[in-house]
Every structure is written in C-alpha cells, then in structure tokens.
Structure 1
C-alpha cells in the first residue's frame, strides 16, 4: 500500500506499533515515524457526530456516578464504591477505565492513590476521577469530591472545597477560541505556595477517545514542558483542580469536561457538586 499510494514517500507514521514489526518494515525501505502527535493533531477538533457520542458518554457516566453517590455509606471499602462506577459504565455501553483514582480520608492527600480495601469512615472526604472510556468509545473525565456520612463537614474540608471551586470557576471562564495555551497557563488561577507542591499535573487538558492534546501546565512548569497553541472551536478540554496542603490530612479533586464553541464554551459535564461542602445544606 505504501508503494502503491505513497507517491515515492516511504515514511509511515504509527500511533502505536509493535516493536518487533519495525525491522521488517525497515527492510522494505519504510521509515517508521512516531505518529501520536500527528493523530492527536488530527483528532483535536471534534465533528458533530463525535460531540454527540461524547454527550451520550457523559450522560451515561453521570448516571453511573449517581448510583455511586446513592451507594456511598461509611463501612464500605473504596473498592466497593469504585466497582459501582465500573459496573454501571459497562451496563450503559461503556468500555473500560484508564485508572482507579478513588481515595478516601487521609488517602486523598497526596493525589494519585488508587482505590484500595480501606474502609470509608463517616466524615471522610471521598475524591475520585472517572477517567473512563464510555459509550461509543469516548472518554468521560469528571472528578468530584463527596462527604461520607450524614454529618457536617469540618471548616478545613469546606475551605479546601471552596479553593477548588474558585480555581475551576475562574479557569473555566477563560475558555474561548483564540485563547493561547500560554495565556491559560499564566493567567489561570494558581494556588498558594503551600499547596503548589501537591498541585495537579495540569490546569487543562484535551479529551476525546482518551486524554488528548493539549496539556496545559502550571506557569512554573511552562519553560520545561509548555508549548505554543491556542483553543479552537470544536475542541473539548477538561478543567482540573486538586487542592491538598503539602503534608495535610485530606484533599479535594474537581474536574469538568467542556466543549469550546464559536463564541465561548459549553459545559458538557453537569453532575451536581456536594452542597454540604459548599456550605449550602
């Protein structure tokens, strides 16, 4: 096919390729090129059909989250709770989950601890990131933090939640076509110094069939891993926040999935926030 359709060009880009096949291609005079950058550039603008599929995936994911929240009770394990999301995603035509990011109580700080056999206790924060490939093969990447049990949150828990809300709300309002990645990084709401060591790896990231281009980092990381580019209509991005004091007891994870439109943005994820942690119940 390369000889027939390549017009003499023998470069062949692969999103993924098994390494044992590369020498055989090289013997045919084919130059193998890493193709993930090419594929992510091609996938960054979602077609109307892709956006429709993503909407369905989000609806299915949020229905699964609803089943999780109804089932959340002190005395169950983190794995018990996490398994509900997995089962409900599959029940609604979903496929698989990239991570197992659900933690409770002291395991919420620092972030990136996978679900375990730890028993959730009354008064614990329970934080999770769906990271699932849902209906029609599209990713739904939403994070929420809930308070376990029927009690009231502590002042510290409310303060953490409020900081996460403020970061998400501020950074969401920046989203519009033409805004550069550097602007998002440097004008986005950062964190107080004592929270920065535990910061999430990105402020924003693209999403489609999985986590995709771009990855917009904090300003302190820009010189080493930042790159030029700008938002365009049809891109879908996630706005991220993790708030956990370095050496602190608990942390709050929030994340929403957002479509860039011709005039601004449309929030695709609409799962309710925890009213008790917001101080509204």
Structure 2
C-alpha cells in the first residue's frame, strides 16, 4: 500500500482509539469484515478459528491470526500501521492469548459481527470485563466519508450506471428473470466491479416484492420490471442503484400516473438533502408526496440506507432517526410504490451530503424506460 493510504489508516486507528476512550472502553476487539478493512486495509475472513484485531486505548494494536491464515494478511501494512501480528496454531487457546492482550481491561467494545462462538469464549476468558458493542463507536467515524471514500463511491456509481445503460441488451419478453439476471451479473463485473453482490429482477407481480431476487418467471410484453443491482469496486466500496423498466407499453393503465408520483417523490427527497437536515426529514419528504397522491400504504420501507464498505450501513433514512446530516454522509434515496399482485416501481440513487447540499452519484435518467418487447 502507498504511504498515503498507510497514513490514512493510521489516522483512523488513532481516531478510533480516541472515540473508544470517550465511550469509556479500555479496548476494542474487531472482527474480520468491513470494520477491519476500514481500520487496517484488509477484511480477512471469520471461521471457527479466532481472528481479531485487539485495539487497546493505550498501547499498540495486535492482529491475532491463526498461523495457517497469516499469509492472507501479507498485503496489510502492519509495520507502517504499528500493528503487531500475533499468530497461534491449532491446540493453543487463542482466547487466553487475547485475554493477555486485554490485560486489566474492565470494559471491552466487541465488534458487532464477531460470532457468538468467539464472543462467549472471550467472556469466559476475561470474566471481569464488561462487553459492549463496538458499532456505536465505529459508526460515528464510518458514516462520515473522507475524500478518498467519496471518490471510490463515485467510481462505483459510474460503474453501475454503465450496467443500467445496457439493459436493453438483456431485458425483453420471452426471457426468464434468472436469464436476465445472469447477464446483468456478468456485466456488473465487466463494467468495473469485483463481483455482483446482488441482482434483483422483479417482473410484473414480482416487482411488488421489494427484496425479490430472480426467478424462473418468463418476462411478458407489458411487464413493469424493477432492476436493483450493485457490487463492490476494487477499493471495497459499493454501488447500489435501482431503475424501473417496461417491456413494451405497460399493460396496466395506472402505471404512468403512479410512476410520475414516485418520480416526484424521489426528486423531492434528493433535493431535500443538505447539511443540517435530519435523516427523518428526508424520509418524510418522499413519504409525504406519495401519501398525498393516495399511495401511502404502498410505500412499505424506509427511504434509504447508508452505504460504503457495506451495502447497508449507517445512516438510515427512516422515520424516527433525528440524526442531523453532515458533509461526507452517503446514503441511498429510494422510495418505491408496490401494487400487490400487479406491479411495483422503485427509483434509487446514492447521494453524498456536501458542504452546501447534495451530490447524486448515479446519473441515469429517472423516467420509466420503455424497452422494445
């Protein structure tokens, strides 16, 4: 890794230590996954053998890794970050190793995704230490993206836009959702992602299920089709964008007017994003437009979710979240209207809060795209 990246990661470790101290924690135990990647540049994997980063408030961080998996961390700049590598082999007790590193800690913040298998064993190994979740500490840092993170999200947004721009190549009557989804997944990789994380192709009545996947349903002329797709780019940051298509002219007479309401709601919610506005105000902006048109009962999920090294992370754009938006916060704006048994529609862009307003990271048109049947 470059010196710039190493300096960035070291600064994150320092900020996390300070935040943990402010939360009255003596140390943190971070599991493999996005939190670990955020802090040291490598995510690792979690299996039955314990792997974790032990990060004392006072003292050097230690990456505890099974010796047979240590080669997988060769790209992590441990020396530049001041991270010591401690390995263990089968037959040794890694929990005693971690207990020794925690020393006299009385309050330990444990990674939210550390498996219960390890959490309970650590509790037995350090019975005098209270365990709390590390998430509240880490999320305060992770949901305020720095310039490098925003740049990676822009890259991801442009890559998924290129996939949506090619939808006419695959989406047509006579093909199954699964066939279309397989082509989209390949294009997600071809257009710059490391993999396709998810592909939703919800045609006709399946579009009324927001988290439909793909199925063997044959797409028909007149279908409205919800396509929600995304994946990570090389830096680890995710895309996530939804557009709604029609295969030929929609068979349902109410599609055009209903979709116009959805388009207005999504546009109003994006326009509402700015520093000082709360997350719940953005949600209410979209919801109020849809409810005023008589479709409130058909908008059945939150307006958005944060995005970064995870597809879903803080902040969540939902009623009851009075979090005040700040520059660097990135999240989706994705209202939907779902008519059970008939059709559904959703429009989703990723946006970033700027110093003066909002920057959308997806640039594809928001109109209902009518493709040849």
- Report the TM-score when normalising by structure 2: 0.65
2:335 aligned counterpart, secondary structure: strand
- 2:278 is equivalent to residue 180 of structure 1: yes
- 2:188 is equivalent to residue 102 of structure 1: no
Greater RCO, CA 8 A, separation 6+: 1
Q: 2:216 aligns with which of 102, 112, 117?
A: 117
1:205 aligned counterpart, secondary structure: strand
Alignment correspondent of 2:302: 202
The Cα of 1:241 is off from its aligned counterpart by 1.4
Q: Larger deviation: 255-264 or 194-203?
A: 194-203
The Cα of 1:169 is off from its aligned counterpart by 0.9
CA distance in 1, matches of 2:359, 2:251: 31
- 2:129 is equivalent to residue 35 of structure 1: no
Q: Larger deviation: 130-139 or 108-117?
A: 130-139
Unaligned runs of 5+ in 2: 1-53, 60-101
The Cα of 1:213 is off from its aligned counterpart by 0.9
The Cα of 1:34 is off from its aligned counterpart by 2.2
Contact 1:163–1:243 (CA<8 Å) still a contact in 2? no
CA distance in 1, matches of 2:211, 2:265: 19
CA distance in 1, matches of 2:103, 2:141: 22
CA distance in 1, matches of 2:197, 2:300: 17
Unaligned runs of 5+ in 1: none
Alignment correspondent of 1:165: 263
1:214 aligned counterpart, secondary structure: strand
Q: Larger deviation: 29-38 or 200-209?
A: 29-38
Alignment correspondent of 2:357: 264
Alignment correspondent of 1:273: 366
The Cα of 1:117 is off from its aligned counterpart by 0.8
The Cα of 1:171 is off from its aligned counterpart by 0.9
1:263 aligned counterpart, secondary structure: coil
92 and 100 in structure 1: CA distance in 2 versus 1, 3 angstrom threshold: closer
131 and 60 in structure 1: CA distance in 2 versus 1, 3 angstrom threshold: closer
Q: Larger deviation: 121-130 or 16-25?
A: 16-25
CA distance in 1, matches of 2:250, 2:336: 21
The structure with the larger Rg is: 2
1:44-90 Cα shifts (integer Å, max 9, x gaps)? 11111111111111122122223333222211111111112211222
Contact 2:347–2:366 (CA<8 Å) still a contact in 1? no
How many pairs are equivalent? 268
Once superposed, what is the RMSD of the aligned Cα atoms? 2.5
